[in-house]
């Protein structure tokens, strides 16, 4: 794996520090939401990670949230196989049943064309969550073709294809611990 890596863009220390900051900001906002929308019964915070790219990020992020939360994953396909271009997004699984009235945070690895978050926020919005926010580890500024924004962004990165910390190329390199580019020979 290491020999396929060209350049580390964001090392593990920077990722960890930023994930802690994101966790603080998210927890602060959710605590305020809970205070502002008192509901009968127990209020639900529902994290919805997008498979598969967000798994490493969300595993670290939830351990920075000192809140009572639920977690339910969704599958969205956008970059099948070896393609590096977004071909539109499609939901590959059912949405969680418990969205209505919940404080929902969608977590994804990267905001690129914006198709994934656009599709998801529309569908989730129709289910009447109390609040709906989005969080991505990475964003490629200026790339989004649709008008979709993330509420929490870890890092803005140049328009380069990256792998690691959950992001893949053709299913590989998700376990590389940092965010890095691939050597041309590996693509
Ligand atoms: P969007 O729908 O175009 O915003 O893209 C979101 C999805 O595309 C992400 O969840 C990733 O799976 C994938 N993606 C976009 N850019 C990259 C990249 O640089 N490396 C790996 N996957 C990417
Ligand atoms: Mg993905």
Q: Is 32 helix (H, G, I), strand (E, B) or coil?
A: helix
Q: Are 169 and 82 a contacting pair, CB within 8 Å?
A: yes
- Whole-number pLDDT of residue 20: 98
Distance (Å) from CA 163 to ligand 2 centroid: 11
Give 45-81 pLDDT, tens digit per residue: 999 999 999 999 999 999 999 999 999 999 998 755 5
**pTM, two decimal places:** 0.94
Share of the chain above pLDDT 70, in %: 94
Sequence length of the chain is 187
* Ligand 1 pocket residue status of 108, Cβ below 6 Å: yes
Probe residue for ligand 1, chosen from 57, 73, 78 as the CB with the greatest number of ligand atoms within 8 Å: 78
What DSSP string describes 112-130?
A: SSSHHHHHHHHHHHHT--S
- 13-42 burial, b for 16+ CB within 10 Å, e for fewer? eebeeebeebbeebbebbeeebeeeeeeee
156 bridge partner residues: 139
- Whole-number pLDDT of residue 37: 73
* Ligand 1 pocket residue status of 116, Cβ below 6 Å: yes
* Ligand 1 pocket residue status of 161, Cβ below 6 Å: yes
40 has a pLDDT exceeding 80? no
- Cα 1 to Cα 175, 186, 187: the distances in Å are 9, 10, 13
Q: What mean pLDDT comes out for the span 84-112? A: 90
Residue of 29, 33, 60, 112 marked active site:
112
Helical spans, DSSP H, in 37-173: 55-62, 115-126
């Amino acid at each position: 794996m290491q020999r396929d890596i060209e350049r580390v863009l964001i090392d593990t220390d920077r990722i960890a520090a930023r994930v802690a900051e994101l966790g603080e900001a998210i927890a602060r906002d959710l605590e305020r939401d809970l205070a502002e929308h008192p509901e009968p019964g127990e209020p639900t915070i529902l994290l919805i990670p997008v498979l598969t790219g967000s798994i490493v990020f969300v595993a670290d992020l939830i351990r920075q949230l000192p809140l009572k939360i639920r977690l339910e994953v969704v599958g969205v396909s956008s970059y099948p196989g070896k393609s590096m271009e977004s071909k539109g997004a499609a939901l590959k699984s059912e949405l969680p049943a418990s969205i209505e009235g919940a404080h929902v945070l969608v977590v994804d690895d990267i905001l690129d064309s914006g198709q994934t978050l656009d599709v998801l926020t529309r569908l989730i919005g129709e289910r009447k969550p109390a609040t709906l926010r989005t969080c991505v580890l990475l964003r490629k500024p200026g790339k989004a073709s649709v008008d979709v924004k993330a509420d929490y962004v870890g890092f803005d990165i140049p328009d380069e294809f990256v792998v690691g910390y959950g992001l893949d190329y053709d299913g590989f390199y998700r376990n590389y611990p940092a965010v890095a580019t691939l050597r041309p020979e590996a693509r």
